[in-house]
Amino acid sequence: MTSETNPTAKIAWLPDLLYTGRRFVGGVALVCDASGEIVRLSRAAELTDEKRIRLSDRALMPGMINAHSHAFQRVLRGRTEYRTTVNSEAGGDSFWTWREKMYLAATRLSPEDIFDASRMAFLEMALSGITAVGEFHYLHHASDGTPYADPNLLAKEVVRAARDLGLRIAMLRVAYARSGFQTEPNPQQARFIEENPDAYLRNLNMLISAPAASAWVGVAPHSVRAVPLDYLREIIDYAKQLDLKVHMHVAEQPAEVSACVEEYGRTPVALLETEGFLSENFTAVHAIHVTPKAIPAFARTGAIVCACPTTERNLGDGVVPADEYFKHDVPICLGTDSHAQIDLLEDARELEYHLRLQRLERAVLVDRNPTVREGASPLDEGENSTLPHGRVSAIASRLFDCATANGAHSIGAPGGALEPGQPADFFTVDLNDPSIAGASPDDLLSSIVFALSRAAVREVVVGGKPIVSDGRHLIQEDVIEKFNELQKRLWS
Cα gap 130→452, rounded to integer Å:
14
Side-chain-side CA neighbours of 247 within 13 Å: the count stands at: 32
> Maximum CA pair distance of the chain?
72
Task: Please classify residue 428 by burial: count the beta carbons closer than 10 Å to its beta carbon, then call 0-12 exposed, 13-18 middle and 19+ buried.
Answer: buried
Angle between helices 344-359 and 390-403 (to 10 degrees): 130
DSSP 423: B
Amino acid in the structure at residue 257: V
Cα gap 353→365, rounded to integer Å:
10
Q: Cα–Cα distances in Å, from 153 out to 147, 166, 251, 253, 380? A: 10, 20, 30, 31, 49
Q: What is the three-class DSSP state of 58?
A: strand
| Beta-bridge mates of residue 65 | 132
Cα gap 70→174, rounded to integer Å:
11
Cα gap 411→396, rounded to integer Å:
22
Listed in sequence order, the residues at least 6 apart from 287 whose beta carbon sits closer than 8 Å to its beta carbon are 250, 251, 269, 298, 305, 306, 307, 320, 325
In sequence order, which ranges of 265-389 are alpha helices (DSSP H)? 268-274, 295-301, 309-314, 322-327, 344-359
- Name the residue among 62, 83, 168 with its Cα closest to residue 400: 62
Q: What distance lies between CA 131 and its chain's CA centroid?
A: 10
CA angle 332, 334, 448 (to 5 degrees): 100
Sheet-wide strand order for 168-175: 64-69, 130-137, 168-175, 215-221, 246-250, 282-286, 304-307, 332-334
Cα gap 138→154, rounded to integer Å:
9
Q: Which residues are catalytic?
A: 286, 337
